[in-house]
Amino acid sequence: MNFIPFPNLQTDRLLLRQLDKKDANAIFFLRSDATVNKYVKRPQTDTIQDAIDFINKINTGIIEKDWIFWGITLEDSPNVIGTICLWNFSKDRKIAEIGYDLHPEFHKKGIMNEALSCIINYGLKSLNLKTIEAYTHKNNEASINLLLNNGFHHIEYRTDNDNPDNSIFSLELF
């Protein structure tokens, strides 16, 4: 599993690319906006420097093969409108967790569905993953519907020890 060179991915409308320091304002927004973070339990980003530090941490983790993390942009614009990642890989690298967020201006336009489908395909064909898991807040209907529409199923018997309000979903790849 090697992410160098970084695997930029393209869909009909989107370019998924590596984050850069020039994305600090977008990352600051995504990690501090109340709407984006309504169902997410993570430390809030308080400054642009926090966003730059986050980008640096993400890119270091990519080099160290801890995770793969894309900025989501529209094909005709360099501005990051969301992010999507695969992380928390199992020791055998057959299971990964997916995470994502999206600027509210772009909700309900099929963008995250397009990005998620692309990452599922990448996980299956390029990383040979067997399972992708997703942890989402039990009240986040949009995220739950996104996952269900992409073949994930709710694993009712599992709980998230870090956040009891999360439900766990799984997609087995064949």
Boundaries of domain holding 110: 9-128
In whole angstroms, what is the distance from residue 100 CA to residue 70 CA?
Answer: 9
CA pseudo-torsion sign 165, 81, 69, 24? negative
Whether 98 is in a domain gets the answer yes
**Which pLDDT score, from 0 to 100, does residue 174 have?**
75
pLDDT in tens, 93-142: 999 999 999 999 999 999 999 999 999 999 999 999 999 999 999 999 99
In whole angstroms, what is the distance from residue 74 CA to residue 174 CA?
Answer: 29
Whether 142 is in a domain gets the answer no
Q: What is the CATH number of the domain that holds 64?
A: 3.40.630.30
pLDDT at 2 over 90: no
Quickly list H helices, the chain: 24-32, 48-63, 111-125, 141-149
Mean pLDDT for the chain? Answer: 96
Whether 162 is in a domain gets the answer no
Whether 81 is in a domain gets the answer yes
pLDDT band at 149 (very low <50, low <70, confident <90, very high): very high
Whether 41 is in a domain gets the answer yes
pLDDT band at 66 (very low <50, low <70, confident <90, very high): very high
pLDDT in tens, 31-46: 999 999 999 988 889 9
pLDDT at 173 over 90: no
